[in-house]
Structure 1
Amino acid sequence: MRGLRSVLNQFRYMKSNHLIVGGIFALGMGIFGVLGILNQVEAQAAIVRDCDNNAIMYCGAENAGEFKQKFEANAPGDLPAIYGHYWIPKDLQVVQGQSFKDGTVRVNGKVVATNAKSIGRQPIPGSRPISIAGKTYYETPNSAAFVTDGLPTMVALDAQGNFKYAVISGCGNPIYATPTPPTPPKPTPAYTCDLLSAQQTGTFSRRFKIDARASGGAEIVGYRIDFGDGTAPKDSTSSTIDYTYAKAGNYTVKSIVKVKVDGKVVEVPGDKCQAQVVIEQPAADYACTALDVVKRSGKTYDFTIRKTEKNAAYKGATVDFGDGTSETITGTTVSHTYTEVRDYTIVATLKFDVNGEVKDTKCQAKITATPCPTNPALPKDSPDCAECPYDSSLPKNSPDCKAPVTPAALPQTGPGELLMGGFGLASIITASSYYLASRRDLLATLLGK
């Protein structure tokens, strides 16, 4: 439909002869209606030359070559000034497009400018005068200047597709419009995994850092790393991942970047996102430094193992008590009660895991015990080991430890015994006499008073 309207619009500028316009219009309707002008491509529609007084370039120009020819032919005239005012050179670098009544300028159906105004020599309703090189011309919005929808137009664009200037083909009238920034092309997604680095944080520990990039609408959403030791790969949303290996070895570590592109997640490997990790086995240092013995009571003793371990794991010990018995422990302390009092040598055998291999080391202690002389089943320092005070060969708690019985004394009948007996009796009598005499003297004194 716009092809037909382009034809009609040419007559906007043919005001001098209405009969010619009517005849041409009727002829055009007959011919182009039959040939199907409605199917013509807008940008390639044949121009209808405008040869009236409003045309800036009389009868217009169909292409850049014709434009240059007329431009140079009119060098003494006003064309250089008019086109120079709108930065239009004589050597056009243009593409075919159309300018429309709605104020748009289009190329291949795409709007490259808006608010279009055409410049002519004659005033019409809606136009405003402008002065160029001392002469007056008229700038009119397309909505007022165009009778029909659109006109074939030569359009200049810059390298980025931005509108520069335009010239209506049929009349050479410049188009002044507001450039419409071209729609930026859809960015092309780009993403790479650039580097996998490993930093030692411990004997068997490493911190891995994945460097990756995504642009053009692509987005990094996660990471995956295979540590190369047979364990399951680890997923993470962080580009920094810590890991501790179980043992020494050489490991090839590989990483993958997860990128979201057009709503889908793709996995991005990379030759640069691999790393070799060497875990060296450190020297192990382990020993049993002492076996402490503390007597608890009687024949019971407490044993404590002292040890050192570096780069080795303690796995328990077996304690041989020296009496034909032993005990396996997981800790470092154990107690034992002996059945006999004698000397013993106690041996502790410690086990350590060194790089997955079990290693043994030993230490020992001695017990020196003296039996009770009277009861060998007891140690000498036992409270029950005291001697019988009546018989040193017996223990104090022996039922035979008894005090001896003293026999009763017989009567004495010898001369000495008789003499002593008489002396004692005389003494008693004498003492009694003195006592009685003293009582009498006391009584007499009391009565005399």
Structure 2
Amino acid sequence: MTEDDAGGAAARICADLIRIDTTNRGEGDARPERPAAEHVAGLLDGAGAEPVVVESAPGRASVLARIPGTDPSAPPFLIHGHLDVVPADAAEWTVPPFAGEVRDGCVWGRGAVDMKGSLAMTLAVVARRLREGRRTRGDLVLAFLADEECTGEYGSRHVAREHRGFFTGCTEAISESGGFSVEAGGARVYPIATGERGTAWMRLTARGTAGHGSKPAPENAVAEIAHAVSRIAAHPWPVRITPGVRALLDGLADALGTTIDHDRLDAEAARLGDVGRLFAGTVRNSANPTRLDAGYKVNVVPGAATAHVDGRYLPGTGDEFLATIDRLLGPRVTREFVNFEEAPAADPAGPTFAALAGALRAEDPLARPVPYVMSGGTDAKSFHRIGITSYGFAPLRLGPGLDYLGMFHGVDERVPLDGLAFGTRVLDRFLDTR
């Protein structure tokens, strides 16, 4: 890798972006993304694009650009990603999480994986293509967004609603969480995300009779919410093999030369190790209690108590999921959505998936691309609402000792320099097909 290639440029951009702290704690507690947005806009402007910085609220900024293609009749294509990151406790890290330090062949810092490394690859590839006069056939649309680590209300939801003209004609996109390598049994598997579970973040409320803590309290709101949360946490959600998960299981069986018993998928996930983690969290719905709030004094029974639950449901199972939650809550606890998003899906047998897989194979002859469903959620949900299907594709070739999946929102997040170089080559090849 030379100092001037797109991989080297991606590493420098990634480090610079990490140094701009865009921590998003949610519920309005976020550092403004505007400094990062202005940095990205400057890079695009210097490469000859015409970026626009848009704000949904003071400091909550995203960057949009539409680069004309060579064929007005060809469909435009969207690449989107987010500028914000989750919090990091510096005391837990080997290196300062916002230093953007290069050490041991990696760029370290919060966002290296999720997802400033991916943004850096996109920026480096687009800049080089513009310098060299190479354009996609259809328009290339870029969106670098605020607020993905919360609900997207200040980012993807805002631009999809208020700046929809940038996305006119777009029907497909790529974004985060796919295209990385997983070593298993001599095979190099590259999962490409073709869907994700839906989101059902809920606030639960129990109401009772307020009173003195020393007296009987038959309508105790704290007890009611505790019982409901306990029932939800203990519920054994049944396995549901959706078409997307079935395609992954079939692809893995073929790539690894093995059989996967669909009747014992938990055990199979454990047996297959890192590859098994690709489906361990997507064979069933889930609901995890995450917050409890009640009362203000030890000797006062409060009249209300609340809890928050992070619910995730597989494509096509939304009604079943909510019916189960309502049964578990019982008659004295109500729910309301903090955030509700459908489960989007993309075609694993279509030409775009084939082009993504082909770009990986061209750079790694041992690559075995497979479709997979993400357990979490991304900005793909916002674009799904306006008719744009997203694939998770931020390509990286990784060494076997790097726990890439574990670094999403984890400690000592880092991305390999040679992985970034590989990813820029793959992205460049893919854009030649657009």
Bin the TM-score by the shorter chain: under 0.3
More strand per residue:
1
Higher Rg of the two aligned structures: 1
Q: Point out which structure has higher relative CO (alpha carbons under 8 A, 6+ apart).
A: 2
